[in-house]
Structure 1
Amino acid sequence: MLYHWRTASINLKLALVSLTLALILFIVGFSSIYWLQIERPEENYLDSYGLWIHYRCEDPRGCHEDPMNSVYLGNKEWTGWFRLTQAVECLGLICMVVALLILLLYFFVSSCKQRKALYAIILFTFLSVLFIVIGIAVFGGKMDKMGYSVGWSMGLAIAGAILAFFAGIMEVLELR
Protein backbone atom coordinates (compact mmCIF):
# COMPACT_ATOMS: atom_id res chain seq x y z
CA MET A 1 0.00 0.00 0.00
CA LEU A 2 2.85 2.36 0.76
CA TYR A 3 4.19 1.61 -2.71
CA HIS A 4 1.05 3.04 -4.29
CA TRP A 5 1.37 6.20 -2.22
CA ARG A 6 5.00 6.74 -3.25
CA THR A 7 4.37 6.16 -6.95
CA ALA A 8 1.20 8.29 -7.19
CA SER A 9 1.34 11.77 -8.65
CA ILE A 10 0.99 14.86 -6.48
CA ASN A 11 -2.34 15.62 -8.16
CA LEU A 12 -3.73 12.21 -7.23
CA LYS A 13 -2.46 12.48 -3.64
CA LEU A 14 -4.04 15.94 -3.27
CA ALA A 15 -7.30 14.66 -4.76
CA LEU A 16 -7.42 11.73 -2.35
CA VAL A 17 -6.68 13.83 0.74
CA SER A 18 -9.02 16.68 -0.18
CA LEU A 19 -11.90 14.40 -1.20
CA THR A 20 -11.54 12.48 2.07
CA LEU A 21 -11.59 15.72 4.08
CA ALA A 22 -14.49 16.99 1.97
CA LEU A 23 -16.53 13.91 2.78
CA ILE A 24 -15.82 14.18 6.51
CA LEU A 25 -16.74 17.88 6.63
CA PHE A 26 -19.85 17.36 4.53
CA ILE A 27 -21.12 14.45 6.64
CA VAL A 28 -20.75 16.50 9.84
CA GLY A 29 -22.51 19.48 8.25
CA PHE A 30 -25.15 17.30 6.57
CA SER A 31 -26.16 15.62 9.81
CA SER A 32 -26.03 18.50 12.31
CA ILE A 33 -28.77 20.98 13.19
CA TYR A 34 -27.16 24.38 12.71
CA TRP A 35 -27.58 25.06 9.01
CA LEU A 36 -29.45 28.29 9.69
CA GLN A 37 -30.35 29.99 12.92
CA ILE A 38 -31.72 32.98 14.76
CA GLU A 39 -30.22 33.68 18.15
CA ARG A 40 -31.33 36.34 20.62
CA PRO A 41 -29.18 35.91 23.77
CA GLU A 42 -30.97 38.67 25.65
CA GLU A 43 -34.22 36.68 25.38
CA ASN A 44 -32.58 33.24 25.82
CA TYR A 45 -33.96 32.30 22.40
CA LEU A 46 -32.40 30.06 19.76
CA ASP A 47 -34.15 28.75 16.66
CA SER A 48 -32.09 26.60 14.32
CA TYR A 49 -32.73 24.32 11.38
CA GLY A 50 -30.80 21.40 10.01
CA LEU A 51 -31.84 19.20 7.13
CA TRP A 52 -33.46 16.69 9.44
CA ILE A 53 -34.23 18.41 12.78
CA HIS A 54 -35.61 21.76 13.93
CA TYR A 55 -34.21 22.82 17.31
CA ARG A 56 -35.69 25.61 19.44
CA CYS A 57 -34.79 26.98 22.87
CA GLU A 58 -36.86 29.70 24.51
CA ASP A 59 -37.55 30.85 28.03
CA PRO A 60 -39.45 29.60 30.01
CA ARG A 61 -40.46 26.58 27.89
CA GLY A 62 -36.95 25.15 27.52
CA CYS A 63 -35.51 23.40 24.47
CA HIS A 64 -37.11 20.89 22.14
CA GLU A 65 -36.49 19.22 18.80
CA ASP A 66 -38.95 18.54 16.02
CA PRO A 67 -38.20 16.15 13.16
CA MET A 68 -38.52 17.72 9.75
CA ASN A 69 -41.27 15.29 8.74
CA SER A 70 -44.11 15.81 6.29
CA VAL A 71 -46.52 17.06 8.98
CA TYR A 72 -44.06 19.67 10.30
CA LEU A 73 -43.08 20.81 6.80
CA GLY A 74 -46.72 20.92 5.69
CA ASN A 75 -47.69 23.09 8.66
CA LYS A 76 -45.00 25.60 7.70
CA GLU A 77 -45.78 25.24 3.97
CA TRP A 78 -42.16 24.23 3.30
CA THR A 79 -42.74 20.79 1.82
CA GLY A 80 -41.62 21.38 -1.79
CA TRP A 81 -38.42 23.35 -1.50
CA PHE A 82 -37.32 21.65 1.73
CA ARG A 83 -37.75 18.14 0.32
CA LEU A 84 -35.84 19.28 -2.79
CA THR A 85 -32.99 20.44 -0.56
CA GLN A 86 -32.92 17.15 1.34
CA ALA A 87 -32.98 15.17 -1.92
CA VAL A 88 -30.16 17.02 -3.67
CA GLU A 89 -27.99 17.02 -0.55
CA CYS A 90 -28.50 13.24 -0.29
CA LEU A 91 -27.55 12.90 -3.96
CA GLY A 92 -24.47 15.02 -3.30
CA LEU A 93 -23.47 12.77 -0.41
CA ILE A 94 -24.00 9.61 -2.47
CA CYS A 95 -21.98 10.97 -5.40
CA MET A 96 -19.14 12.02 -3.09
CA VAL A 97 -19.00 8.58 -1.46
CA VAL A 98 -19.00 6.88 -4.87
CA ALA A 99 -16.25 9.21 -6.13
CA LEU A 100 -14.10 8.49 -3.08
CA LEU A 101 -14.63 4.72 -3.36
CA ILE A 102 -13.67 4.69 -7.03
CA LEU A 103 -10.68 6.94 -6.29
CA LEU A 104 -9.51 4.54 -3.57
CA LEU A 105 -9.80 1.64 -6.00
CA TYR A 106 -7.98 3.62 -8.68
CA PHE A 107 -5.30 4.59 -6.20
CA PHE A 108 -4.64 1.22 -4.55
CA VAL A 109 -5.77 -1.52 -6.98
CA SER A 110 -3.51 -1.73 -10.01
CA SER A 111 -6.15 -3.47 -12.16
CA CYS A 112 -8.46 -0.45 -11.64
CA LYS A 113 -5.95 2.11 -12.98
CA GLN A 114 -7.87 2.77 -16.17
CA ARG A 115 -8.70 6.04 -17.80
CA LYS A 116 -12.45 5.32 -17.69
CA ALA A 117 -12.21 4.93 -13.89
CA LEU A 118 -10.62 8.37 -13.69
CA TYR A 119 -13.45 9.77 -15.84
CA ALA A 120 -15.99 8.23 -13.45
CA ILE A 121 -14.19 9.75 -10.46
CA ILE A 122 -14.25 13.17 -12.08
CA LEU A 123 -17.93 12.83 -13.01
CA PHE A 124 -19.05 11.79 -9.53
CA THR A 125 -16.88 14.42 -7.84
CA PHE A 126 -18.31 17.29 -9.87
CA LEU A 127 -21.86 15.90 -9.61
CA SER A 128 -21.50 15.89 -5.81
CA VAL A 129 -20.40 19.53 -5.87
CA LEU A 130 -23.27 20.47 -8.19
CA PHE A 131 -25.91 18.78 -6.02
CA ILE A 132 -24.51 20.24 -2.80
CA VAL A 133 -24.41 23.76 -4.23
CA ILE A 134 -28.00 23.48 -5.53
CA GLY A 135 -29.21 22.34 -2.10
CA ILE A 136 -27.33 25.09 -0.28
CA ALA A 137 -28.65 27.73 -2.69
CA VAL A 138 -32.28 26.60 -2.32
CA PHE A 139 -32.10 26.25 1.47
CA GLY A 140 -30.16 29.45 2.05
CA GLY A 141 -32.31 31.45 -0.35
CA LYS A 142 -35.55 30.49 1.37
CA MET A 143 -34.28 30.94 4.91
CA ASP A 144 -32.57 34.26 4.14
CA LYS A 145 -35.98 35.71 3.28
CA MET A 146 -37.13 34.76 6.78
CA GLY A 147 -34.27 36.54 8.55
CA TYR A 148 -32.09 33.56 9.45
CA SER A 149 -28.30 33.60 9.35
CA VAL A 150 -26.00 30.87 8.08
CA GLY A 151 -24.94 28.45 10.80
CA TRP A 152 -21.76 26.44 11.18
CA SER A 153 -23.35 23.26 9.79
CA MET A 154 -23.99 24.88 6.44
CA GLY A 155 -20.49 26.33 6.62
CA LEU A 156 -19.05 22.82 6.94
CA ALA A 157 -21.18 21.64 4.02
CA ILE A 158 -19.90 24.57 1.94
CA ALA A 159 -16.30 23.80 2.97
CA GLY A 160 -16.86 20.17 1.95
CA ALA A 161 -18.13 21.28 -1.45
CA ILE A 162 -15.13 23.57 -1.95
CA LEU A 163 -12.69 20.78 -1.05
CA ALA A 164 -14.52 18.39 -3.37
CA PHE A 165 -14.26 20.95 -6.17
CA PHE A 166 -10.52 21.23 -5.52
CA ALA A 167 -10.28 17.42 -5.63
CA GLY A 168 -12.11 17.47 -8.96
CA ILE A 169 -9.61 19.94 -10.37
CA MET A 170 -6.73 17.72 -9.21
CA GLU A 171 -8.44 14.73 -10.83
CA VAL A 172 -8.78 16.60 -14.14
CA LEU A 173 -5.10 17.54 -13.94
CA GLU A 174 -4.33 13.83 -13.48
CA LEU A 175 -5.70 13.22 -16.98
CA ARG A 176 -2.68 14.94 -18.54
Structure 2
Amino acid sequence: MAGWGAASIPLRVALIVLCLALVVFVIGFATKGWAHNKFGTDIIAEAMRIPVYVEHEIGLWAYDVCYTERGGGLNKYLRYARYYQCGDRDIGLFIDGLRCGDWYHAVQGIECLGLILMVAALILLFLYFFVQSMKQRKYLLITIGLTFGAVVFIIIGVGIYGSKIKDIYYKLGWSFGVTIAGAVLAAVAGIAEVIVLLK
Protein backbone atom coordinates (compact mmCIF):
# COMPACT_ATOMS: atom_id res chain seq x y z
CA MET A 1 0.00 0.00 0.00
CA ALA A 2 1.34 3.39 -1.01
CA GLY A 3 1.23 6.46 1.21
CA TRP A 4 2.85 8.27 4.08
CA GLY A 5 2.58 5.45 6.62
CA ALA A 6 4.11 2.83 4.35
CA ALA A 7 6.99 5.04 3.18
CA SER A 8 10.50 4.74 4.55
CA ILE A 9 12.08 7.65 6.43
CA PRO A 10 14.54 8.50 3.60
CA LEU A 11 11.63 8.62 1.14
CA ARG A 12 9.69 10.95 3.44
CA VAL A 13 12.78 13.14 3.81
CA ALA A 14 13.25 13.21 0.02
CA LEU A 15 9.66 14.31 -0.56
CA ILE A 16 9.65 17.02 2.11
CA VAL A 17 13.08 18.38 1.20
CA LEU A 18 12.35 18.39 -2.55
CA CYS A 19 9.11 20.33 -1.92
CA LEU A 20 11.06 22.80 0.20
CA ALA A 21 13.81 22.99 -2.44
CA LEU A 22 11.29 23.89 -5.12
CA VAL A 23 9.72 26.64 -3.00
CA VAL A 24 13.12 28.11 -2.09
CA PHE A 25 14.37 27.91 -5.68
CA VAL A 26 11.24 29.60 -7.08
CA ILE A 27 11.66 32.45 -4.59
CA GLY A 28 15.23 33.00 -5.78
CA PHE A 29 14.35 32.44 -9.43
CA ALA A 30 11.52 34.99 -9.47
CA THR A 31 12.79 37.83 -7.29
CA LYS A 32 14.82 40.93 -8.10
CA GLY A 33 17.77 40.41 -5.83
CA TRP A 34 20.30 38.50 -7.92
CA ALA A 35 22.64 41.49 -8.08
CA HIS A 36 22.70 45.11 -6.99
CA ASN A 37 24.61 48.32 -7.54
CA LYS A 38 24.51 51.81 -6.03
CA PHE A 39 26.28 54.91 -7.24
CA GLY A 40 26.00 58.67 -6.89
CA THR A 41 25.26 60.96 -9.81
CA ASP A 42 23.34 64.09 -10.72
CA ILE A 43 20.15 64.27 -12.70
CA ILE A 44 19.31 67.38 -14.68
CA ALA A 45 15.76 68.65 -14.21
CA GLU A 46 14.27 72.12 -14.49
CA ALA A 47 17.73 73.51 -15.31
CA MET A 48 19.04 72.22 -11.96
CA ARG A 49 21.50 69.53 -11.01
CA ILE A 50 19.89 67.27 -8.43
CA PRO A 51 22.30 64.95 -6.57
CA VAL A 52 20.92 61.42 -6.29
CA TYR A 53 21.92 57.88 -5.53
CA VAL A 54 20.94 55.43 -8.24
CA GLU A 55 20.27 51.91 -6.97
CA HIS A 56 19.71 48.89 -9.20
CA GLU A 57 18.20 45.61 -7.93
CA ILE A 58 18.44 43.02 -10.69
CA GLY A 59 16.68 39.69 -11.10
CA LEU A 60 16.60 37.24 -13.97
CA TRP A 61 13.42 38.73 -15.43
CA ALA A 62 13.11 42.34 -14.23
CA TYR A 63 14.97 45.00 -12.32
CA ASP A 64 14.24 48.02 -10.12
CA VAL A 65 15.83 51.42 -10.41
CA CYS A 66 15.56 53.77 -7.42
CA TYR A 67 16.64 57.38 -7.25
CA THR A 68 17.19 58.42 -3.64
CA GLU A 69 18.34 61.58 -1.89
CA ARG A 70 22.10 62.20 -1.75
CA GLY A 71 23.06 64.80 0.82
CA GLY A 72 21.44 68.16 1.42
CA GLY A 73 19.17 67.43 4.35
CA LEU A 74 15.43 67.74 4.77
CA ASN A 75 14.94 71.02 2.89
CA LYS A 76 16.58 69.66 -0.24
CA TYR A 77 14.68 66.39 0.12
CA LEU A 78 11.33 68.16 0.27
CA ARG A 79 12.26 70.41 -2.65
CA TYR A 80 13.25 67.52 -4.94
CA ALA A 81 11.02 64.76 -3.51
CA ARG A 82 9.22 64.20 -6.82
CA TYR A 83 12.52 63.10 -8.39
CA TYR A 84 13.19 60.46 -5.74
CA GLN A 85 11.33 57.43 -6.99
CA CYS A 86 11.59 53.75 -7.77
CA GLY A 87 10.32 51.85 -10.76
CA ASP A 88 10.23 48.38 -12.25
CA ARG A 89 11.90 47.91 -15.59
CA ASP A 90 12.02 45.11 -18.11
CA ILE A 91 15.28 43.18 -17.93
CA GLY A 92 15.69 43.66 -21.68
CA LEU A 93 16.62 47.31 -21.08
CA PHE A 94 19.38 46.23 -18.70
CA ILE A 95 20.66 43.55 -21.06
CA ASP A 96 20.68 45.88 -24.07
CA GLY A 97 22.20 48.77 -22.12
CA LEU A 98 25.18 46.76 -20.90
CA ARG A 99 25.46 44.47 -23.93
CA CYS A 100 25.42 41.32 -21.82
CA GLY A 101 22.67 39.53 -23.72
CA ASP A 102 24.44 36.31 -24.64
CA TRP A 103 25.41 35.15 -21.19
CA TYR A 104 22.33 36.64 -19.51
CA HIS A 105 19.95 34.81 -21.84
CA ALA A 106 22.00 31.64 -21.33
CA VAL A 107 21.57 31.92 -17.55
CA GLN A 108 17.82 32.50 -17.97
CA GLY A 109 17.51 29.40 -20.14
CA ILE A 110 19.68 27.21 -17.93
CA GLU A 111 17.78 28.23 -14.79
CA CYS A 112 14.48 27.50 -16.60
CA LEU A 113 15.76 24.00 -17.41
CA GLY A 114 16.66 23.55 -13.74
CA LEU A 115 13.14 24.60 -12.75
CA ILE A 116 11.50 22.26 -15.27
CA LEU A 117 13.60 19.29 -14.13
CA MET A 118 12.91 19.99 -10.46
CA VAL A 119 9.15 20.21 -11.05
CA ALA A 120 9.25 16.97 -13.08
CA ALA A 121 11.25 15.25 -10.31
CA LEU A 122 8.76 16.38 -7.68
CA ILE A 123 5.76 15.19 -9.71
CA LEU A 124 7.37 11.80 -10.30
CA LEU A 125 8.36 11.52 -6.63
CA PHE A 126 4.77 12.26 -5.60
CA LEU A 127 3.55 9.55 -7.95
CA TYR A 128 6.19 7.12 -6.65
CA PHE A 129 5.15 7.99 -3.11
CA PHE A 130 1.36 7.73 -3.44
CA VAL A 131 0.56 5.50 -6.45
CA GLN A 132 1.21 1.80 -5.88
CA SER A 133 1.73 0.98 -9.57
CA MET A 134 4.52 3.62 -9.75
CA LYS A 135 6.59 2.03 -6.96
CA GLN A 136 9.13 0.56 -9.34
CA ARG A 137 12.88 0.97 -9.37
CA LYS A 138 12.91 2.56 -12.84
CA TYR A 139 10.68 5.45 -11.68
CA LEU A 140 12.93 6.11 -8.71
CA LEU A 141 15.98 6.09 -11.03
CA ILE A 142 14.29 8.62 -13.32
CA THR A 143 13.42 10.78 -10.30
CA ILE A 144 17.04 10.69 -9.11
CA GLY A 145 18.24 11.65 -12.59
CA LEU A 146 15.78 14.54 -12.79
CA THR A 147 16.69 15.78 -9.31
CA PHE A 148 20.44 15.78 -9.90
CA GLY A 149 19.92 17.15 -13.42
CA ALA A 150 18.08 20.11 -11.87
CA VAL A 151 20.92 20.65 -9.41
CA VAL A 152 23.52 20.59 -12.19
CA PHE A 153 21.63 23.10 -14.35
CA ILE A 154 21.00 25.44 -11.42
CA ILE A 155 24.66 25.37 -10.37
CA ILE A 156 25.86 25.96 -13.95
CA GLY A 157 23.50 28.94 -14.22
CA VAL A 158 24.56 30.54 -10.95
CA GLY A 159 28.21 29.86 -11.81
CA ILE A 160 27.93 31.74 -15.09
CA TYR A 161 25.95 34.57 -13.48
CA GLY A 162 28.33 34.92 -10.54
CA SER A 163 31.41 35.05 -12.74
CA LYS A 164 29.97 37.48 -15.31
CA ILE A 165 27.98 39.97 -13.20
CA LYS A 166 31.11 41.10 -11.37
CA ASP A 167 32.65 42.07 -14.73
CA ILE A 168 30.04 44.84 -15.01
CA TYR A 169 30.59 46.04 -11.42
CA TYR A 170 27.56 44.57 -9.71
CA LYS A 171 27.54 42.74 -6.39
CA LEU A 172 25.72 39.46 -5.89
CA GLY A 173 22.46 39.72 -3.95
CA TRP A 174 20.20 37.70 -1.72
CA SER A 175 18.15 36.05 -4.51
CA PHE A 176 21.37 34.58 -5.88
CA GLY A 177 22.04 32.98 -2.49
CA VAL A 178 18.45 31.74 -2.15
CA THR A 179 18.74 30.08 -5.57
CA ILE A 180 21.90 28.28 -4.45
CA ALA A 181 20.11 27.20 -1.25
CA GLY A 182 17.35 25.69 -3.41
CA ALA A 183 19.96 23.71 -5.34
CA VAL A 184 21.59 22.48 -2.12
CA LEU A 185 18.23 21.33 -0.76
CA ALA A 186 17.51 19.53 -4.04
CA ALA A 187 20.89 17.79 -3.75
CA VAL A 188 19.97 16.66 -0.22
CA ALA A 189 16.66 15.31 -1.57
CA GLY A 190 18.58 13.51 -4.32
CA ILE A 191 20.87 11.88 -1.76
CA ALA A 192 17.81 10.72 0.21
CA GLU A 193 16.41 9.26 -3.03
CA VAL A 194 19.66 7.37 -3.61
CA ILE A 195 19.44 5.97 -0.07
CA VAL A 196 15.91 4.74 -0.85
CA LEU A 197 17.23 3.12 -4.03
CA LEU A 198 20.05 1.33 -2.19
CA LYS A 199 17.77 -0.13 0.51
TM-score (norm 2): 0.81
Whole-Å separation in 1 of the counterparts to 2:164 and 2:88 = 21
Answer yes or no: is 1:47 the counterpart of 2:56.
yes
Answer yes or no: is 1:27 the counterpart of 2:26.
yes
* Bigger helix share: 1
Question: What is the match of residue 101 of structure 1?
Answer: 123
Count of residues paired in the alignment: 173
Answer yes or no: is 1:143 the counterpart of 2:178.
no
**Alignment RMSD, CA only?**
1.9
Whole-Å separation in 1 of the counterparts to 2:159 and 2:12 = 30
> Which runs of at least 4 in structure 1 moved beyond 6 Å after TM superposition?
none
Question: What is the match of residue 131 of structure 1?
Answer: 153
Whole-Å separation in 2 of the counterparts to 1:174 and 1:150 = 36
Question: What is the match of residue 105 of structure 2?
Answer: 83
Q: Map 1:134-173 onto structure 2 (within 5 A).
A: 134-173=156-195
Whole-Å separation in 2 of the counterparts to 1:138 and 1:75 = 19
Whole-Å separation in 2 of the counterparts to 1:78 and 1:144 = 12
Whole-Å separation in 2 of the counterparts to 1:48 and 1:8 = 44
Q: Which of residues 54, 58, 62 in structure 1 aligns to 2:67?
A: 58
Whole-Å separation in 1 of the counterparts to 2:100 and 2:84 = 25
Deviations 1:61-81 (A, max 9, x none): 521222122x64233211100
Q: Which of residues 51, 64, 67 in structure 1 aligns to 2:90?
A: 67
Which runs of no fewer than 5 residues in structure 2 stay unpaired?
Answer: 41-51, 69-82
SS in 2 for 1:18: helix
SS in 2 for 1:6: coil
The one-letter code sitting in structure 2 at the alignment partner of 1:6 is: G
* Bigger strand share: 2
Deviations 1:139-164 (A, max 9, x none): 11111223322211111111100000
Whole-Å separation in 2 of the counterparts to 1:113 and 1:175 = 11
The one-letter code sitting in structure 2 at the alignment partner of 1:23 is: L
The one-letter code sitting in structure 2 at the alignment partner of 1:13 is: R
User: Quick check: 95-104 or 5-14, which moved more?
Assistant: 5-14
Question: What is the match of residue 10 of structure 1?
Answer: 9
SS in 1 for 2:168: coil
Whole-Å separation in 2 of the counterparts to 1:38 and 1:78 = 16
Which runs of no fewer than 5 residues in structure 1 stay unpaired?
Answer: none
TM-score (norm 1): 0.91
Question: What is the match of residue 43 of structure 2?
Answer: none
- TM-superposed CA distance for 1:44, in Å, is 4.5
- TM-superposed CA distance for 1:45, in Å, is 3.7
SS in 1 for 2:60: coil
- TM-superposed CA distance for 1:38, in Å, is 2.2
The one-letter code sitting in structure 1 at the alignment partner of 2:181 is: A
Whole-Å separation in 2 of the counterparts to 1:88 and 1:160 = 15
The one-letter code sitting in structure 1 at the alignment partner of 2:91 is: M
SS in 2 for 1:51: coil
- TM-superposed CA distance for 1:58, in Å, is 1.6
- TM-superposed CA distance for 1:53, in Å, is 0.5
